[in-house]
Amino acid sequence: MSSWSDFLARSDNAHWILHQSDVQICTREDGSRHRLGKGGFGEVYKALIRGVQPVALKLFTEKDAGDQVTAIQLRELQMLKDCHSAYVVQFLGALLFDGHIAIVTELMAGGDLFTAMHGGVVSAWNDRALQIAIDVAMGLDDLHSRSIVHLDLKSLNILLCPSLRAKIADVGQSRMLTRKYVSNLSSTGTWNWTAPEVLLSPLRVNTAADMFSFGVVLLELATGEDPLRGQYHNILEAAPAVIQPLIEACMDCEPANRPTANQAAKQLLEIQRGGTLGPYHSASSGSMHYGSQSEEQDTELQREGRNPQVAFVHTGEAAASVRHTADAALPPLISLLKDSANSEGRIQAAAALSILAHEYVHKKQIAEETLPALVSLLQDSANPRGSAQAAGALRNMAGKGRNHRIADAALPALVSLLQDTGNADGRTNAAAALDALAQSTHLRAPIAEAALPALVDLLEDLSMPQGRIWAAAALSNLARSSGLQVRIAFAALPALVGMLRDANQAGVYQALGVLWYLALNRDLRKPIADAALPAMVGLLKNAASLECQIPHFCIVTLEELASHPDLRKPVADAASSSLVSLLTDPASDKAVRWEAAKLLKHLARSRDLQQRAQSHVAESFCELATRDSDELGKSLAQGVVRDLERKGWFSHLCTPT
């Protein structure tokens, strides 16, 4: 197996390689191997590493041997090795076991989601099912952000830990589907979760295929029913109204119309928080944490004189009823929106359109028919509440196939509203709309040209906490374009660093997102480190009081900064103690500890650091490697210690266990 030998020969893979003597497959009482299941290309067994740590061992069976499987095996090894996510099953190592390649991952003791649902462990659409859906969406977002397409997502490949939090497994088939494999989908049952474009053209798919599969998983979680192809619509009728629009969007036959995993995760988080996806804050925003229209605002709007044309919005009808009445409602709503003599009616019409744009599948129809009237209201400075509602409606209409038309018609008016310091809601909604439009790559340059100064002004306005979050979200999308990064850094870096010191964790998260994108530009790493390093270290020191995503994102950004040779020492001097504290604290989030270990190892191996700093890091790893009370920490540290010893570092300090 020359390809396996080549893989072994790479020095950067050495620390992942295990030996067969390290791994023992567990047996049942009858002496048979403890098999956990069978994946697409191999069998999975319960095993122990060095007789202590329970793991899952995926053994590629002999009947699957051959060149094709070797390619899949090596692809899975590479993807698992490079994919570090709290929502994807953790890769621990690989080995040659009885002549076959085997992959070792963490053991998910809760089993697979399909079995848990049909065994009554997970019931249809309760808080637990919603959290599982969020976990899966976050996992897909992590995979897709690394340009990994899973292509075999299903409830059988979603594994649960004892607390029933979910992780995605079987990443190995990613982008490796062939026509031969697709021909076997019907016999394995997998085709019930498979996007139609995969069945028709398996070699020309993208991340949207995973979103179709995610929609089927959502359908299972929402109804508890088996996902039978051809029966989706009938099953969907049994799903709660709050989740139906997202399921329908994910399972749209047109891949371009499906939401991204990031958008789906945010909508599910909004549902979990009990928020209303109204005209102010849509689920498809660029913000990780976002608010919803308050009950006081909703009640106030309902108390005021309602026009008969928009009364259906306030009657509490289900989302499905709103969608079914959309065709009939649009003409009177547009008529009311154009009635310049009825200011209150225009406000309510814009609010109704915002809700319709979120709930209704055919957003393109709404945008085409209402865009001119909404832009007219957006420009009406005499009706500030109407302008704010119009911006919210445009934000909810945004999406693929609509953004360019919305930007052509509304960008100048949105920028003008963003600059209106007398209209707080309008500024917030304008920033949210620009965030949505900036998700389109070709719109980022014109948006930056028109709106960057106003976005930075909003970012600096301490009286606008929600507006600052949306401004940072918009800047995060703009910063994804490398040609804009220097300009954004020059304009916004001081304000972004200021946000890192805020008590508003949603703002902190968004600011870190912008800084991470900017740090991808090697020319910006030093100015970012000079300005932001103390604030980021402060976040690490206070990690226990923060949501785990913040220290995780902070460490990932520090990794980018530390990749600059001139910044390794400043990062090590400033952050090593805090990173060691996170690594050695069993109460720290698992993903945070993993990232801390990875960054510390990178720093410890740097030749240009002072011996004292290196020794401090090495001693911490050595202590943790022998800590029997902390299984995760011990496992993380042992791998690092072995690697450092193999490379000849710190042999005078400790001996690998």
Which residue numbers belong to the known binding site?
58
How many angstroms separate the CA atoms of 319 and 82, rounded?
A: 41
Burial 259-298 (b: 16+ CB within 10 A, else e): bbbbbbbbbbbbbeeebbbbbbbbbbbbbbbbbbbeeebe
How many angstroms separate the CA atoms of 380 and 448, rounded?
A: 24
Burial 424-454 (b: 16+ CB within 10 A, else e): bbbbbbbbbbbbbbbbbeebbeebbebbbeb
How many angstroms separate the CA atoms of 171 and 188, rounded?
A: 17
What 3 state SS string does 608-655 have? CCCHHHHHHHHHHHHHHHCCCCCHHHHHHHHHHHHHHHHCCCCCCCCC
Residue 57 dihedral angles phi and psi, to the nearest 5°: -115, 115
How many angstroms separate the CA atoms of 435 and 470, rounded?
A: 7
Give the Cβ contact number of residue 316 at 10 Å: 7
Bridge partner residues of 514 (DSSP): none
Could you give the residue ranges of the DSSP H alpha helices within 151-225? Answer: 179-183, 185-188, 196-200, 207-223
Nearest Cα residue to 433 out of 388, 395, 407: 395
SS3 of residue 287 by DSSP: coil
Residues counted in the chain: 657
How many angstroms separate the CA atoms of 257 and 34, rounded?
A: 44
Surface-to-core class of residue 652, CB atoms within 10 Å of its CB (0-12 exposed, 13-18 middle, 19+ buried): exposed
Annotated binding site for ATP: 58
Give the Cβ contact number of residue 490 at 10 Å: 11
Q: Are 507 and 552 in contact (CB under 8 A)?
A: no
Q: Which two tokens stand for residue 492?
A: 């916004």
Q: Which two tokens stand for residue 304?
A: 């005021």
Q: Are 453 and 491 in contact (CB under 8 A)?
A: yes
66: Cβ–Cβ under 8 A, 6 or more apart, which residues? none
How many angstroms separate the CA atoms of 200 and 198, rounded?
A: 5
Measured CA distances, 524 to 166, 173, 451, 573 (Å): 37, 37, 22, 20
How many angstroms separate the CA atoms of 520 and 488, rounded?
A: 13
Nearest Cα residue to 554 out of 585, 599, 620, 584: 599
Q: Are 650 and 606 in contact (CB under 8 A)?
A: no
In the block, residue with structure tokens 């193999």: 646
Q: Which two tokens stand for residue 154?
A: 């299903």
Nearest Cα residue to 138 out of 273, 258, 289, 262: 262
Sign for the pseudo-dihedral over CA of 581, 584, 587, 592: positive
Written as one string, the DSSP assignment of 315-375 is TT--HHHHHHTHHHHHHHHHHHHT-TT-HHHHHHHHHHHHHHHHH-S-HHHHHHHHHHHHH
